[in-house]
Chains A and B, each alone.
Chain A
Amino acid sequence: AQSVTQLDSQVPVFEEAPVELRCNYSSSVSVYLFWYVQYPNQGLQLLLKYLSGSTLVKGINGFEAEFNKSQTSFHLRKPSVHISDTAEYFCAVTISGGYNKLIFGAGTRLAVHP
């Protein structure tokens, strides 16, 4: 079975500072990896995904994530955050080649302060 651990439930950061949101997964088979974002009063929106190929994946709004198979990690990074990045971020996995039944982590609340 697959599982996802988001190591930080809350991350406070000042505007224009860099940020890293950590995600580790567990799986005995190959997986696809995702980061979703939920802004206040909105649905989940896909930020980026890793399916295969280059381990560095770039997404929307200046976010990127790096797949590290040996460390079973998929950490999300942004070099300079804005107030508008304040949201909850979810890491998720699904089994490669299967339907997109997603297994989510518990989420990380990113709070960007002026």
Chain B
Amino acid sequence: EAGVTQFPSHSVIEKGQTVTLRCDPISGHDNLYWYRRVMGKEIKFLLHFVKESKQDESGMPNNRFLAERTGGTYSTLKVQPAELEDSGVYFCASSQVVTAWADTEAFFGQGTRLTVV
């Protein structure tokens, strides 16, 4: 069974450019999460989709970030225009929606390392 897949693995862009990160969750997982780790600090929650709906986007830094999950399958996270402080590793995770919380586990992708220069 394929795990959570993220594209690209690395991206280097100039300040002011646009970048789109993609996440393919595990098949059948309705929950999809985006997290970000900036330069050795803690991994921070960005947002949570349940199918195609945004359940919680309280962690999105500002309106330069736009996340979508059309059709409830893969998700994209676009940064436009990118700033230097957006550099970091962006993780995606997915999990099933089950009635017993103890059965859930969030599976993480390898992350996309974004460098804005």
The number of chain B residues touching the other chain, given as a range, is 20 to 34
In the bound complex, residues from chain B placing their C-beta under 8 Å from that of A46 are: 105-106
Q: What is the predominant secondary structure among interface residues of chain A facing chain B?
A: loop
Q: Which of B76-117 contact A (CB under 8 A)?
A: 91, 93, 95, 101-102, 104-111
Within 8 A of B (CB), among A46-65: 46, 49, 51-52
Q: Does A106 lie within 8 Å of B40, measured CB to CB?
A: yes
Residues of A with C-beta under 8 A to B74 = none
- A96 partner residues in chain B, CB cutoff 8 A: 101
Provide the residues of chain A in CB contact with B43, threshold 8 Å. Answer: 44, 90, 92, 102, 104, 107
Which residues of chain A are within 8 angstroms of B55 by Cβ–Cβ distance?
99
Write out the residue numbers on chain A whose beta carbons fall within 8 Å of the beta carbon of B93: 44
With known contacts A90-B43, A101-B33, A104-B44, A43–B105 Cβ distance under 8 A: no
Given contacts A43-B108, A51-B102, contact A99 B31 (CB under 8 A): yes
Contact flag A43-B48 (CB < 8 Å), given A99-B55, A102-B106: no
B42 and A4 contact, CB distance less than 8 A: yes
Residues A43 and B42 in contact, CB atoms below 8 Å apart: no
Number of chain A interface residues as a range: 20 to 34
* Contact for A99 among B40, B48, B91, B102, CB less than 8 A: B48
Find out whether the CB atom of A103 lies under 8 angstroms from the CB atom of B45: yes
- Kindly list chain B residues whose C-beta atoms are within 8 Å of the C-beta of A90: 43
A-B contact list, 16 entries, CB within 8 Å:
A36-B108, A41-B110, A43-B109, A44-B43, A44-B91, A44-B93, A46-B106, A49-B105, A90-B43, A96-B101, A99-B55, A100-B104, A100-B105, A100-B106, A102-B45, A107-B42
**Interface residues in chain A, defined as those with a beta carbon under 8 Å from any beta carbon in chain B:** 4, 9, 32, 36, 41-46, 49, 51-52, 90, 92, 96-107
